[in-house]
Structure 1
Amino acid sequence: MSIQAYDIKARKKVSMKNPQPYLMKNGTWALKGTSAETGITLFKIVGKKQPTIPISKIGMLKNLFTSRKCECSKMC
């Protein structure tokens, strides 16, 4: 399942890469990500409730193995 948003540069709906929840000044939530075609920043307004983004199993495992602390107390 990919999130679709309108790309101004491409003049069509494209899939959004790396969508993240974003709280706007007026209290409305949006999804902020990059365009898969042109690489510009995309926003998709979703409403007053904070959106939940489904994480794929591969992404979940990637986060699990790359967000561990090592002996030097840095995130490695």
Structure 2
Amino acid sequence: MSKIQAYDLKARKKVIMKNPQPFLMKNGTWALKGTSSETGIKLFKIVGKTKPEISHSRFEMFRSLFTSRQCECEKYC
């Protein structure tokens, strides 16, 4: 899983963000939304003009591995 840190206002320190999701703001800037690993409040971190790539969990990687295989009928199933 990704180890993205964001500032937690309740804990008053940087914590690891759980379940970060990319979010496109109105002005075209990308941000990450997630929850705090310590207090459980919502965190928001602005990252810039390019879309952030977040490494997925093991389950997501294995699921994408097995669902994108080529079939005997030469189609991706």
Q: Same fold by TM (over 0.5)?
A: yes
Task: Report the AA paired with residue 27 of structure 1.
Answer: G
Q: Which has the higher contact order (CA 8 A, sep 6+)?
A: 2
Percent identity among equivalent residues? Answer: 73
Partner of 1:38: 39
Equivalenced residue count is 64
**Pairwise CA RMSD of aligned residues?**
2.0
Partner of 1:19: 20
Which aligned segments of 4 or more residues in structure 1 are displaced greater than 6 angstroms?
A: none
**TM-score, structure 2 normalization:** 0.73
**TM-score, structure 1 normalization:** 0.74
Partner of 2:4: 3
Runs of 5+ in structure 2 lacking a partner?
64-77
Runs of 5+ in structure 1 lacking a partner?
65-76
Larger radius of gyration: 2
